[in-house]
Amino acid sequence: MTQTTAFFHTFDPADVTVHLRPATPRLVGVAEKEALLRQGVSYGTLLTPETRPSAVQMAAYHDALTRNGPRMAELIASLTAHLLAHVPQPVLVSLARAGTPVGAAMTRFARRRGQKLPHHTLSIIRGSGIDREALRRVQGAHPGGTLVFVDGWTGKGSIWGTLVDSLPGDVPPLLAVLSDPAGVASFAATHDDLLLPHAALNATISGLLSRTFVDAESQIEQKLHGVRTEDHLRPDDVTGEYLAALDAFDTGIDLPLSPGPRPVRPYDAVLALAAGLGVHDPHLVKPGVGEATRVFLRRQPAGLLLRDARHPDTHHLSELARAAGIPMTVHPELPYLAAALIRPRAGEDT
Dump pLDDT digits (tens) for 275-326: 999 999 998 999 999 999 999 998 889 999 999 999 999 999 999 999 999 9
Is 236 part of a structural domain of the chain? yes
Q: Which of 134, 151, 165 is nearest to 290 (CA)?
A: 151
Question: In this structure, are 75 and 12 located in the same domain?
Answer: yes
Residue 292 inside a domain? The answer is: yes
Query: 95 with 189, same domain?
Result: yes
Count CA atoms within 13 Å of residue 126 on its CB side: 10
How many Å apart are CA 153 and CA 138, to the nearest integer? 23
Same domain flag for 114 and 220: yes
- Same domain for 327 and 276: yes
**Last residue of one domain, picked from the residues 217, 249, 281:** 249
> What is the tens place of the pLDDT at every residue in 227-283?
999 999 999 999 999 999 999 999 999 999 999 999 999 999 999 999 999 999 998
Amino acid letter, 294: R
Cα–Cα distance measured from residue 124 to residue 182, given in angstroms and rounded to the nearest whole number: 19
Is residue 255 in a domain? Answer: no
The average pLDDT across 30-55 equals 77
Share of the chain above pLDDT 70, in %: 94
Any idea what the CATH number is for the domain that residue 289 is in?
A: 3.30.1330.30
Residues 146 and 117 in one domain: yes
Assess if residue 142 is contained within a domain.
yes
Tell me the pLDDT tens digit for each residue of 196-218: 999 999 999 999 999 999 886 77
Same domain flag for 291 and 226? no
- Do 123 and 12 reside in the same domain of the chain? yes
Supply the range of the domain harboring residue 282. Answer: 267-342
Rounded-to-5 percentages of helix, strand, coil across the chain? 40, 20, 40
Give the predicted TM-score (pTM) of the model.
0.93
Indicate if 306 and 213 belong to the same structural domain.
no
Same domain, 23 and 94: yes
CATH code of residue 18:
3.40.50
Last residue of a domain, one of 216, 249, 282: 249
Indicate the number of domains in the chain.
2
Condensed to tens digits (0 to 9), the pLDDT of residues 216-231 reads 677 777 789 999 999 9
Please give the full DSSP string across 44-100, using - where no structure is assigned: GGEEPPP-PPPHHHHHHHHHHHHHHHHHHHHHHHHHHHHHHHHSSSEEEEEEETTTH
- Flag the least confident range among 76-90, 106-120, 290-304: 290-304
Of the residues 195, 217, 249, the one at which a domain ends: 249
- Would you say residue 260 lies in a domain? no
pLDDT of 42 reads 67
